[in-house]
A and B are shown apart, each in its own frame.
Chain A
């Protein structure tokens, strides 16, 4: 186990590399989903308003 975490002494390099990749990829996924949901909400709000106005 300890061998795994220390990555043969390279832990300070291997884990930040994987960590940076994970953070960036999850980051853009989260931002994309959030923005998609927000726009879907906005569109349905606009549709409802104009639906009510008719």
Chain B
């Protein structure tokens, strides 16, 4: 991991893999959409509305996956002080919030025809709503201080404290009687879902994951450049010799 600690190296590596990850995103989401909307069967109970699943479930998986990544990055940042960990957490948070929002909206649109209601305050939906608020709080805390590194450290602690919500979301459909259907893919006995439906689901999931990493790379680059700008500005204010050019990656 120390090989990735140098921001300049990260920038070089991310430039190299970026075209591949962007291509993977386009291919998987494209193929996934084709299968989801055209080449997969409707459900015998839910009819065509089951196609919402191909958006709702990958988005929900991403919401949990991204928060877990942020919690891991926060732990690494606080314990080992890896210089890129805070950057990764800061960059990932808005993307995770987007996926959570999509999961909530698509879930609501799926619930209305299926359950007869736009929303129900059961364990699964409530804890995903809490997850959304945790993302918003994380983003707000990052930007709440004059000293940005203070915001990063505070946000890291919040991410770790809030992580207890993730297993609650995952297992809520098992622990409580809820309206939401229980796990049919990520379970010990293997998936119980029809393979013709599993294929578009997994394609969309991989596509969403690739999308996340594509946008994450872009956001991390932007954040690293923002730091260079801050340093360059401060150096000019203090009349120090310009050295952001000389030292690759600045003093990130």
B226 touches A32 (CB 8 A): no
Which of B110, B222, B225, B245 is within 8 Å of A17, CB to CB?
Answer: B110
B48 touches A17 (CB 8 A): no
* Contact (A13, B225) CB under 8 Å given A32-B218, A36-B218, A54-B242: no
CB-CB contacts below 8 Å: B46-93 with A: 47-49, 51-52, 55-56, 59
A24 touches B232 (CB 8 A): no
Interface SS, A side: helix
A residues within 8 A CB of B221? Answer: 36
* Contact (A46, B229) CB under 8 Å given A16-B109, A21-B102: yes
Contact pattern, B 225-244, Cβ under 8 Å of A = 1, otherwise 0: 11011001100100000101
Which of B37, B52, B55, B245 is within 8 Å of A47, CB to CB?
Answer: B245
B244 touches A47 (CB 8 A): yes
Closest chain B residue, CB of each to CB of A18: B55
The tally of residues in B whose CB lies under 8 Å from a CB in A reads 39
B218 touches A50 (CB 8 A): no
CA–CA, A28 and B222, complex, Å: 13
Closest chain A residue, CB of each to CB of B54: A18
A36 touches B225 (CB 8 A): yes
A residues within 8 A CB of B232? Answer: 43, 46-47, 50
Could you tell me the distance in whole angstroms from the C-beta of B82 to the nearest C-beta in chain A? 22
CB-CB contacts below 8 Å: A1-37 with B: 4, 7-10, 13-14, 16-18, 20-21, 24-25, 27-29, 32-33, 35-36
* Chain A interface extent, by class: 20 to 34
B113 touches A10 (CB 8 A): yes
Q: Is B27 part of the contact surface with A, judged by Cβ < 8 Å?
A: no
* Contact (A14, B49) CB under 8 Å given A8-B42, A28-B95: yes
A-B contact pairs, 23 of them (CB 8 A): A8-B47, A8-B48, A10-B113, A13-B49, A13-B52, A16-B109, A17-B52, A17-B105, A17-B109, A17-B110, A20-B105, A21-B102, A24-B101, A24-B102, A28-B94, A28-B95, A29-B211, A35-B222, A36-B218, A36-B222, A39-B229, A47-B232, A50-B236
Other A-B pairs beyond A17-B105, A39-B225, 15, CB < 8 Å: A7-B51, A13-B109, A18-B55, A21-B55, A25-B211, A28-B94, A28-B98, A32-B219, A32-B222, A36-B225, A40-B225, A43-B228, A43-B232, A47-B232, A54-B242
